[in-house]
Every structure is written in structure tokens, then in C-alpha cells.
Amino acid sequence: MKHDLGRSLSPAPSVDDDPVAAFRAARADVEAILADPGLATRPCDTPSGRLPVERHVDQVVSEDLPLHGWDLARATSQDDTIDPEDVELAWASVRAVPDELMEKLRTPGAFGPDIEVFGPEVKLGEDASPQDRLLAFIGRDPHWRP
């Protein structure tokens, strides 16, 4: 699969066969792009609009991974507390998204087959914690249990 950068992903085992090796291969691909100033600063299309590659990578790592960490922790009945600084960063980021783009982000398939960025907002009471408000805004039910 080719992306805006005209590069293909390196050969790697499937996540099902060897998740650690698949992760390491993906990380090496990203690190190689970030190490090349010409590629790192090149604009690319993202769900957040057109951004330099390095900004998009930072956005995914800094803002998206803590949310997926919550998914994994909640699904496996572990401590699912997100660092308050990460909550604040992600909240500021998602609240800054224009309504038109947020609608697209909530539309399944808008960025390709089987891609769903955010689900419909989950309604919570006024007394919800900042973490719960963030999760609900992006379509996760903070009260869900496995």
C-alpha cells in the first residue's frame, strides 16, 4: 500500500502471526521517515487535514495512543486511568476540530473502507470527569465493561 509519501510499508509478519515483530517493523518505517527531513516535513492528508508528516505522527503518538491504551486497559479489566495531561491535550485537540470535519470523522468509511475515526458522541451527566467527557466525545462509553 502506497501513501502520500510514495513509499510502501516494509515487509513484516502479520499482527496475528507475530504482533511484536509487526510493531517493530512499523516503528522502523516511521523512524526512517522521521529521520529524513525531506519526508518528515512533507505535507500529507490526514483525518485532521493536511499536516506535515512529523506533526501527524506526533498527533497519533501523543494524542491517539493514550486513548487506545484506555481501550486495551478497559477491555482487559486493568487500570484505565489516562494521565490527566494526556486527557487535557487530547481534549484541546478534539474540541478544536471544526464541526464539518468532526461530522466526517464520525462517518464510518469517510476515510476509506472499514475506517471509523470517532463514533457518535455518548451523552453523560454534567458531573462527568474530564476523562469520561473526552471518551464520550470521541464515541466511547466510559461506563462500558467487558
C-alpha cell at 51: 499536516
Residue 46, domain member (yes or no)? no
Q: What is the pLDDT of residues 43-99, one digit of tens each?
A: 988 767 788 999 988 887 778 889 999 999 999 999 999 999 999 999 998 998 889
Residues 72 and 126 in one domain: yes
Residues 84 and 59 in one domain: yes
The answer to whether the CB of 6 falls within 8 A of the CB of 23 is no
Strand partners, 44: 51
Q: Which of 11-20, 54-63, 96-105, 132-141 has the lowest mean pLDDT?
A: 54-63
Per the structure, the complete domain to which residue 36 belongs is given by 1-40
Q: What is the pLDDT of residues 34-43, one digit of tens each?
A: 999 999 999 9
Backbone angles phi, psi at 2, to 5 degrees: -100, 150
Residues 24 and 89 in one domain: no
- Total structural domains in the chain? 2
The pTM of this model reads 0.75
